[in-house]
Every structure is written in structure tokens, then in C-alpha cells.
Amino acid sequence: MSGPCDEAFRVMADRLGGISCDADPVGTLRDPAGLTGWTLPVVEALMIAGAVLALLHAVRTWRRTGDPAGPALWSAAVAFVLILEPPLYFPRQFGISEYLDVLFVHNVFSVQFLFDRMPLYIVALYPACFYLACALVTRLGVFRRHGRVVGAVCVGFVNHCFYEIFDHLGPQLRWWAWNTGAAVNDPALGSVPLVSTVIFGFLAPALLVFWWRTLFPEPAPEPAGRGPLGAPGVAVRVLLVGVLTTVSLPVFSAPVSYLTLTDTPNRAVMAAVLYTAIAVAAVVAVAAVARSAPADAPATGDRFLDRYALLHGTVYLAVFALLWAAATPDLLAAEGGRTGDGAPVGNPFYALACAAVCVWVLWRAARLAPAARTPETGHPARTSPQTA
């Protein structure tokens, strides 16, 4: 069956080595060894494993405490990506092509959905990274000290830092291609549109965590049964978090949308607005993380629950250090923002700065190693599902 393939898609698909329009509308499986490069199955395995690890942590904490907030966060991130991404792949079919062109095209990975447009690893990326960022921020006590607004900003900024390490490498390794003709993709930092940096990297996780914490306040153990607070109520709230995030995202990104859709877009003003958003988020997040204290990280007595965020974050950075090392020779030899084979390069200095923030956050979280027992009772402390 032939999928929707407009001209913008064909141009980007050709840059990725050619992606056929004759793909299965539901899903396709491929041999990982037969992909266009060895880095594709590596990043795919990393994101899927990270999502599985986050889910195991969420479920294990839920079973221990009775609070479904952890699985709800993971599921809401999946619901959000399933609501958000398809219109970005098919703007004409969703009736939004007047306002939004095809922004990017993913390369084909081992597991693909929707006419080969949606890789499984992209679906996994959202719960993997959102949950990791939230686990670190919760471990640092930001929600307890500063409330859900500052906590959500911190989660958004921490997620942004992990995400940009990935976002500035993907185009060079042809994990996806950006549509350089789309108005919203200019201005850019290297090969990465600033809209991606702010909207996808920071604002989306911040809004999702805000709505999640609003609908799943802490602490909130769920009684058994099928009433409003039982399983059906949880499922409805999870879906509502995904919907509210999707609806509020264009509201909060309206200033950028307005600047983009004017007859004569002012790219300098757009860049100033986007960089200011990042800077404000950085100031809020760094100040909150710097004020974290050991008392903010009570122990569960379970090594996996207490060490999950440190393990996940460390593995993530280690794998990307390997991927960046493999890409560095071509990056250093690039001319005019492109490698010798024509791939666009990101901004390694921005990615390195984000990596430094990630290392600092992990270091802060490691310093707050939970005490094994509470001083009052000598027994393990009870924690929320998000303590990691």
C-alpha cells in the first residue's frame, strides 16, 4: 500500500538514503544488521532499553507503595507521543498543512509504524527521557521544596539537556532529516532548529509533568476497586494528561508560532525569544538543583529503586559518548556545516554544555545517596514512586 508521500517527504527521504512510500501502514520489522549504519540499532536499543528500565522502576514502586503515579507518568508520555507525532508526519491528511509543513523524516529502524514514519525507538524515547528527568528532579527534592511549577521547569530543563546530546548528533548520523524549507525550522543552532530545542526538548516535558503532578498529586496511594480513584479513573487521568499537554503546547508556544506565521518573519526576534526561554529555564533549574540536600532523598531499602536514575543516566551518557566519539572525525572535517558525505552537523559545544549539566545533576543525585534507614525507626523509609 502506498503511503502519503509529498515532495518535502521525498526530498528528505532521498537524503536519508531513500525511504519507500510502499510501506505497511501498520508496522514493519527489519534486520538490525541491515540498517544504513551501525549507530541506528545502537541508539534504538538504548532508547527502548531505557523505556523498559523506566517502566520496571515505575511498576515496582507502584507495587511497593500503592501509588500509581509512576506508571501514570510513563503511560502519559506514551499517550502524548502517540497524539503528537502522527500529525507531524502527515500534516496534509490532518488538515494542518496550511500552518505546518512536514518538519522532519525519520530514517527506517528495526521496528517502524505508520508507513515507516514512526520508529519504535522514538515512541520509547519519550517515556525513557521524561521519566529519567523526573526521577532525578524528584530525587533532588525539587517538587517537595518548590512545588509542581518549579519542579516541572526543572524536569523540562534536565530533559532538554539529555535530549540535546541526542538531537545534535542525529542529523549527522542520518537518524532523521530536518526539512530546511519549513519556516518553523529557522532559526537553528547548527543543524537543530531552535523550535526543537525549546518546544520538544524543554516545553513538552515541562507541561506533561505539570499536568501529571496536577492530576496525580503526591502522595496519593490508590484504594482498590473500580470507583473514580480505581483503575478506570487512573486510565482516564493518564489520557487526560496526554491530551492536556498536547492542547497546551501550542498555547505556550504561541509567541513563536505568531512570529513564524507573519508575512515577514523576524528570525532575530525568534532566536532571542527561544534563547531567552532556555536561559530562564536554566536559571530556575540550576538554582533549584543547587539547593538540594541529603534529607530530600529518603531511602526505599531497594537498591534498584534507589539507584535507577543514576544507572539509567550514566548508561545514557556513556553510550552517547561512544556515538559522539565515532562521529567526531567527520565532524572535525566538516565544511560549511556539512560532513564530506553531505550530512548536516549539530553544534558540539552546545551538546557538550548539556552533557556537563547532565553529569552535574547525576553527581548531585549521587551525593544524595539515600540513607538505608530512617533515624526515627531504623526501618527503610517509605517513598513516592518517583524517588529514584
Q: What is the pLDDT of residue 255?
A: 82
Asked whether residue 233 carries a pLDDT value surpassing 90, the answer given is no
User: What is the rounded distance in angstroms from the CA atom of residue 190 to the CA atom of residue 165?
Assistant: 13
At 165, the amino acid letter reads I
pTM (2 decimals)?
0.90
Q: Compute φ and ψ for 28, nearest 5 degrees.
A: -140, 140
pLDDT tens profile 276-307: 999 999 999 999 999 987 555 556 677 888 89
pLDDT tens profile 80-90: 999 999 998 88
Task: Spell out a b/e string for 167-184, using b for 16 or more CB atoms within 10 Å of the CB, else e.
Answer: bbbbbbbbbbbbbeebbb
The DSSP symbol for 34 reads: G
130 confidence band (pLDDT: 50, 70, 90): very high
| Inter-CA distances, 285 with 205, 289, 357, Å | 14, 6, 10
Lowest mean pLDDT among 8-22, 57-71, 177-191, 212-226: 212-226
User: What is the rounded distance in angstroms from the CA atom of residue 54 to the CA atom of residue 74?
Assistant: 8
> What would the mean pLDDT of 88-105 be, rounded to a whole number?
84
Asked whether residue 71 carries a pLDDT value surpassing 70, the answer given is yes
